[in-house]
Amino acid sequence: MTEKLKFRDPKIAKKIIARTKSLASGYHKFCHVCGTHEWTITHYGLRTLLPENIDVIAGPGCPVCILPAAEIDEAIWLALNGVTIVTFGDVIRVPGSESSLQEAKASGGDIRIVYSERDAVKIARREPSKDFVFLAIGFETTVPTTAVEILNKPPKNLTFLVSHRLIPPAMELLLGIGDLNIDGFIAPGHVSTIIGMQPYEIFPKAYYMPTVIAGFEPLDVLFAIYMLLKQIKNGEAKVENEYTRSVTRLGNIRAQKIVEKVFKVVDGHWRGLGRLPLSALAFREAFEKYDARRKYNVKIKSSRDLLPGCQCHLIMIGKIVPTECPLYMKICTPQAPKGACMVSNEGTCRIWAKHNFVVKIT
């Protein structure tokens, strides 16, 4: 698509940046909640292009990073008890309380990596004598893909360890952190493709927080920042949509209905952040037979989310940047990660490390 290149056009970028400079009076801190936004911002060096009085921080937008150690421990327990675990690539290196799925594999656990949930179904069909569990992670973007496979009646030897999480409750958590002082949200485009604009209405209504849904090209992010500044200048707070090519007001209703049929919303634990109300999903009764936790009566002991010294809990709320973690690129590297934020391609620490960031540039 030729539009893609236009959404990276440096000439338009320059114009937007010039506008942000003239609009921004005083200091403003905006927060995104998406690993892909962090990638775009870091990769294109947007923080250095923006005026000094505008900060963009990264919230808990990396689904692998926020996966609690307890849920990795559950998968490890299953793998060591003869069940084959199927999941996405990033997940197997994420530290559980004591070890990772990769280490469980080295100790004889059968762990398979797939690109898509469809592949999990295919593998389970191909090997009917084995028991498979798909460790299903991801935010609203990925949830419908799990729900579709469940509605399609997966084979009997495949159940699901559901570790999905929902983004708006995490955004609300950030607003409750008194000294974070966010002035506006850059809301995640692909999550919004599914959920639409309505779930963000609470931010302007209850918190007077400007919120703009943004796409993932550099100009999308810059224009979203411009739109946020505009709201602030006009003394407004509302939900706006910069990413009209992929997000509609109501979102993907067909996907929402499928999700609603399979799952109910429950409280959920987030790595290093604690329990967030109504932020996770559990099977509705009609589909409980696909629940791996139930089928295998998974029991794990207490868990530990962070290795000593790891600051992921502060990285994930944008309180510090990776270069402020004493372990960053010293003990913790992409080759030997100590925390989930350095494991996942969407983790802030890994994104910064891959771009050779050694100084604080915000």
Partner 1 sequence: MCLAIPAEVLEIKGNTAKVDCGKGVLIDVNIMLVDTQVGEYVLVHAGYALHVIDRKAAEETLQMWEEILNNE
Q: Kindly list the residues in this chain that would bind partner 1 in the complex (CB under 8 A).
A: 1, 3-4, 6-7, 12, 15-16, 19, 34-36, 62-64, 88, 90, 115-119, 137-139, 141-142, 144-145, 148, 152, 188, 190-191, 193-194, 219, 223, 242, 244-248, 252, 254-255, 258, 344, 346
**Contact call for residues 353 and 322 (beta carbons, < 8 A):** yes
Choose from partner 1, ligand SF4, none: what does 6 bind? Cβ within 5-8 Å by kind: partner 1
- For ligand SF4, the nearest residue by Cβ is 339
Among 54, 120, 195, 310, binds ligand SF4 (CB under 6 A): 310
Choose from ligand SF4, partner 1, none: what does 323 bind? Cβ within 5-8 Å by kind: none
List the structure tokens of 339: 């925390």
Q: Is 309 left (phi over 0), alpha (psi -120 to 50) or beta?
A: left
Among 281, 339, 346, 357, binds ligand SF4 (CB under 6 A): 339
Among 78, 322, 346, 351, binds ligand SF4 (CB under 6 A): 322
Among 188, 270, 338, 357, binds ligand SF4 (CB under 6 A): 338
> What is the dihedral angle through the alpha carbons of 84, 87, 91, 96, rounded to the nearest 10 degrees?
-30
- Who contacts 79 (Cβ-Cβ below 8 Å, separation ≥6)? 85, 101, 104, 105, 109, 110, 111
Among 171, 197, 239, 327, binds ligand SF4 (CB under 6 A): 327
Tell me whether residue 172 or residue 217 sits nearer to partner 1 (CB atom): 217
Span from 11-19, 159-167, 188-196, 321-329 in contact with ligand SF4 (CB under 6 A): 321-329
Tell me whether residue 96 or residue 199 sits nearer to ligand SF4 (CB atom): 96
Among 69, 197, 332, 351, binds ligand SF4 (CB under 6 A): 332
Tell me whether residue 28 or residue 338 sits nearer to ligand SF4 (CB atom): 338
Among 34, 194, 232, 325, binds ligand SF4 (CB under 6 A): 325
DSSP string, 265-307: EEEEEETTTEEEEEEEEEE-GGGGGGBHHHHTT--------S-
Site membership for ligand SF4, residue 349 (CB under 6 A): yes
CB of 301 to partner 1, least distance (A): 28
Tell me whether residue 121 or residue 325 sits nearer to ligand SF4 (CB atom): 325
Among 137, 280, 315, 317, binds ligand SF4 (CB under 6 A): 315
Span from 17-25, 28-36, 156-164, 307-315 in contact with ligand SF4 (CB under 6 A): 307-315
**Contact call for residues 31 and 59 (beta carbons, < 8 A):** yes
Count of Cβ atoms closer than 10 Å to residue 273 Cβ: 20
Spatial distance between the Cα atoms of 255 and 244, rounded to a whole number of angstroms: 18
- Who contacts 156 (Cβ-Cβ below 8 Å, separation ≥6)? none
Report the Cα 330 to chain-centroid distance in Å. Answer: 25
**DSSP code at position 323:** G
Identify the bridge partners of residue 280 per DSSP, sorted by sequence position.
165, 266
Tell me whether residue 103 or residue 119 sits nearer to partner 1 (CB atom): 119
How far are the Cα atoms of 64, 116, 117, 127, 310 from residue 88, in angstroms, in the given order? 10, 8, 9, 19, 23
Site membership for ligand SF4, residue 311 (CB under 6 A): yes
Tell me whether residue 259 or residue 351 sits nearer to ligand SF4 (CB atom): 351
**Contact call for residues 166 and 188 (beta carbons, < 8 A):** no
> What is the dihedral angle through the alpha carbons of 139, 140, 142, 147, rounded to the nearest 10 degrees?
120
Choose from ligand SF4, partner 1, none: what does 303 bind? Cβ within 5-8 Å by kind: none
Spatial distance between the Cα atoms of 96 and 76, rounded to a whole number of angstroms: 8
Residues engaged in binding ligand SF4 (CB under 6 A)? 310-312, 315, 322, 325, 327-328, 332, 338-339, 341-342, 349
